[in-house]
Structures are given as structure tokens and as C-alpha cells.
Amino acid sequence: MGKPTVSRVLGSAYALAASVLIAAQAPLSSPAARQLSVVQFIFLTQIALLASLPLLLISSQSRRDLVDALSSPVNYRRLAAIFAVSTAGLILYNVSLSRAHPVVVVGILSLAPFWGTLVALIVTRTPIPVSPFVFFACLVAAFVGAMAVAWSQAQDDSGLVAQLLKGTWLFALPIPIFTVLSASLMVKWFSNLNVSGAVAANILVGCIVLIPSTVILLIARNEAIFANLEVMLLMIAGIILADAIGRVFYQKALNVTDDDDGFVTMFQNLEPAIAALISFCLAPWIEGLRFEADWGFFIGLGLTGASLFVFSWRSLLQANQQEKGRRAAPGRSFAIRL
């Protein structure tokens, strides 16, 4: 079977959809992270992921690929590695979200393009899709934009620095490494399977391990297995949107762009603004999501949007040049390398 055609236009659509879905998780999970213990949070996460399995296994191909993934002994070592990486990211996500505004956390997670490019270079040898200058210039602009959005959410007059110093945002810094690494490992080991089937296999392994172990811990610690119903439903909705549906779109984006993490994760620079808008809409009903749409927000939104446009345009331009070079190569007596 030939290698699938790389499509950055389709990859952009998938990556944008994934960013919207993933950005919804932090505002919806914030009340649970503040009110529940780490063990309760992990247990509820696995319940939500288990509930999302029917959505992932609607097609017969997804169900067949789930069976294929679980029927091969060698895949269990791979699934165990992805499970360990994903669980580490989940714990850090809970801790970081427990005492920081979700928009600030999402802003920190927008560093994913930098980590994504490094992971892609190390794991799959995927080169940066544009020149290093263009990539890091766009990344710096997007980072400044994300911080401007976070600045607009400072809860007092002390500014962003004080807001960050008193929060748990530091725990969010390594999360993009675990997120991108688990996605890249899935592409590396399960690219021959349907995306939904591969994601379902990873979710099922996590549920089998974590649900019984967290229940035992909750009973031993005399903690409630099922706590506040409203908080639980909000968190479950956020997890299904982000970790089930959003994760499938993210994997599809990687697949159609030949595992180009640098390109796909660049769309995550929009997530702080998206999370801010979601927080603004939900703030009247959910405590702790108050959001101020001031000049800082709009400056940050403009910077992230501009950096995304420049990066996407240059990446598409270089991809078209490479395609023209490959078409011209057969008629020449020497190979063309771009």
C-alpha cells in the first residue's frame, strides 16, 4: 500500500476542529479539579472515557481495528507505554487546573508547538515544515499572545506575574510533552489502524487499569466515589469532547500531514482565546470562570491569529514547492533536495 498523500489543507481543518474541542475541556473540568481529589479526578476521567467508547466504535472498521490492536501481544507493550505517558499528563493536568484559571493553564499548554517539533524530530524524524526562523518567530509571537490573554484574566490588580506565581501553572509546563509524545507514539505504532480504533484501544487499557485501582484507593481513603453530580456531568462532557472526539480529530490531522507535529500543534495557539470565549459564555453559571474581554484579550487573539496565518501560509507554500520539485525530478539527471 502506497503512502497516503500529505494534505495540509485537510490537516488544517482537522487541527482547528481538535483545538476547539480540546479548549472546551479546561473550563468544563475546572470545577471538578477545584473540588475533587486527584484520585477522584482520575477515576471520573476514566468513567468519562469509558462512556465515550461507543462514539469511537460506531464504524465496523473501528471495532475490527480495536480487536486487532488488542489481539497482538507486542501491542500490549506499546499500549502500556502510551498509557504511562498519558497518565502522567493527566495527573499534571489535574494539579495545574486545581488552583489556576483555566485560561492561564490553556495559555501554558499553547507551548505545545515547540515541544511537538522536538518530539517529532526525535521520535519520527519529521523535519520542521518551515525555516527555523519562521517557526520560532511565529512561536514567540503566539506565546506573547497567549500571555496577553492570560494577563487579561488576572483576578486582581497585581498583574500577570503575581497571578502566575500564586497558581499551580508550573505543573502545566510538561503536559504538552506527554500529549504530543503519546500522539506521536500512536502514529508510529498504530498508523496501519483506524484512528478511532487505536484511540479506543488506548482508552480501554487505561480504564482496565485505573478504574479498579482508583476505586480501591477511594474506599481505603473514605472518599466518595461519586461526588457532586453537576460537577461530574460538566467534567464528563469536557472529557468526551476533548479526549475522545478531539483526540480523533488530532490524530487525523497528524495522519494526513505525515505526522507533522510542528504544523498540527501550531493550531493549539488558538486554544487560549477559544477557552477564554468558552469561559466568558459559561461564567454566569459556573463559579471561577469570570472572564474580562479587555484590550489584552484582543491583542492576544490578534497575535495568535497572525502567527498561525503566517506559519500556515509559509508551510503550505513550502509544501507546494516540494511537490513541484518531486514532479520535476524524474526528468532530470540529478536528484533535487529541498
- Nearest Cα neighbor of 289 from 90, 18, 26 is 26
Full domain range(s) for residue 259: 8-326
The whole-number pLDDT of residue 216 equals: 92
336, part of any domain: no
260 residue type, one letter: D
Q: How confident is the model at residue 334 (pLDDT cuts 50, 70, 90)?
A: very low
Q: Contact, 236 vs 48, CB < 8 A?
A: yes
149, part of any domain: yes
- Nearest Cα neighbor of 83 from 160, 224, 9, 186 is 186
The whole-number pLDDT of residue 335 equals: 33
The whole-number pLDDT of residue 20 equals: 86
- Nearest Cα neighbor of 261 from 108, 125, 139, 120 is 120
148, part of any domain: yes
Q: Which three cell numbers stand for residue 232?
A: 461530574
168 or 138: which leads in pLDDT: 138
Helix (H, G, I), strand (E, B) or coil at 228: coil
User: How much is the pTM?
Assistant: 0.65
298, part of any domain: yes
- On the question of pLDDT at 164 being above 60, the answer is no
- On the question of pLDDT at 320 being above 70, the answer is no
169, part of any domain: yes
The whole-number average pLDDT for the span 267-296 is 73
Q: Worst-scoring range by mean pLDDT, 154-158, 225-229, 316-320? A: 154-158
254, part of any domain: yes
171 or 83: which leads in pLDDT: 83
86-104 in b/e burial notation, b at 16+ Cβ within 10 A?
bbbbbebbbbbbbebbbbb
- On the question of pLDDT at 40 being above 70, the answer is yes
Domain count, the chain: 1
The whole-number pLDDT of residue 333 equals: 38
Kindly give, in sequence order, each residue whose CB lies less than 8 Å from that of residue 141, ignoring residues fewer than 6 positions away.
303, 304, 306, 307
264, part of any domain: yes
Q: Contact, 51 vs 241, CB < 8 A?
A: no
Kindly give, in sequence order, each residue whose CB lies less than 8 Å from that of residue 121, ignoring residues fewer than 6 positions away.
127, 128
- On the question of pLDDT at 70 being above 60, the answer is yes
61 residue type, one letter: Q
Ordered DSSP codes for 165-181: HTSSGGGGTTHHHHHHH
82, part of any domain: yes
